[in-house]
Amino acid sequence: MSDRFVAILMGSDSDLPQMQPAIDTLAKFDIRTEVKVTSAHRTPQATHDYVTSAEERGCAVFIAGAGMAAHLAGAVAANTTKPVIGVPINASLEGLDALLATVQMPGGIPVATVAIGKAGAKNAAYLSAQILAIADTDLAERVKMERAESARAVEAKDAALQAKLAQ
């Protein structure tokens, strides 16, 4: 395991259930994480300070989950040139407000945006692993193996369904 890590930021501790799949998925790949609650609006200086510090300490990718106004990913992206992945949290309007706030970044301050909620958190972790795998052949192989395992699981479910339908 290297000194590189992925920072997972949430606007509130109530976002943890939707962000947990990111934590779990990164752990499965043995990717070190730091998880923090910080707010683009309520603690802007602390957010800035954390992003700056994390980058200096080896953060390679930031994942930011936030709902409603969902400015956290943009606030992070404004303070780093490392990849930032935004996870819209379903806190109101079924997460559509967060999705739009996360995806509508001005040119030059990109935020990769994934699906709303748990699926998005999981995909943010996979995307982080793929980004890190660019410079890590062992991790790249583990990501490929995970993808193949996922395909086998779908094939097994189909085989079970076909057997059930044939009865």
Treating both helix axes as pointing N-terminal to C-terminal, what angle do 118-133 and 137-166 enclose, rounded to 10 degrees? 140
The whole-number pLDDT of residue 154 equals: 97
Global confidence as pTM: 0.93
Residue ranges, the chain, pLDDT below 70: 1-2
- On whether both 48 and 101 belong to a single domain, the answer is yes
- On whether both 96 and 146 belong to a single domain, the answer is no
- Give the side-chain half-sphere CA count within 13 A for 76: 35
The whole-number pLDDT of residue 2 equals: 62
- Give the whole-angstrom CA distance, residue 90 versus residue 44: 22
The closest alpha carbon to 88, from 56, 148, 156, 105, belongs to 105
Q: Please, are residues 42 and 113 in contact by the beta-carbon 8 Å criterion? A: no
Q: Please, are residues 83 and 89 in contact by the beta-carbon 8 Å criterion? A: no
The whole-number pLDDT of residue 1 equals: 45
- On whether both 103 and 70 belong to a single domain, the answer is yes
The whole-number pLDDT of residue 152 equals: 97
If you ran DSSP here, which 8-state letter would residue 105 be given?
P
Token pair 């699906």 in the structure block, residue: 115
Number of domains in the chain: 2
- On whether both 125 and 147 belong to a single domain, the answer is no
Which domain range does residue 82 map to? 5-135
The whole-number pLDDT of residue 92 equals: 87
Task: CATH number of the domain at 116, please.
Answer: 3.40.50.1970
- On whether both 163 and 125 belong to a single domain, the answer is no
Which stretches of 5-58 are assigned E, i.e. beta strand? 5-10, 33-37
- Give the whole-angstrom CA distance, residue 6 versus residue 32: 6
- On whether both 103 and 160 belong to a single domain, the answer is no
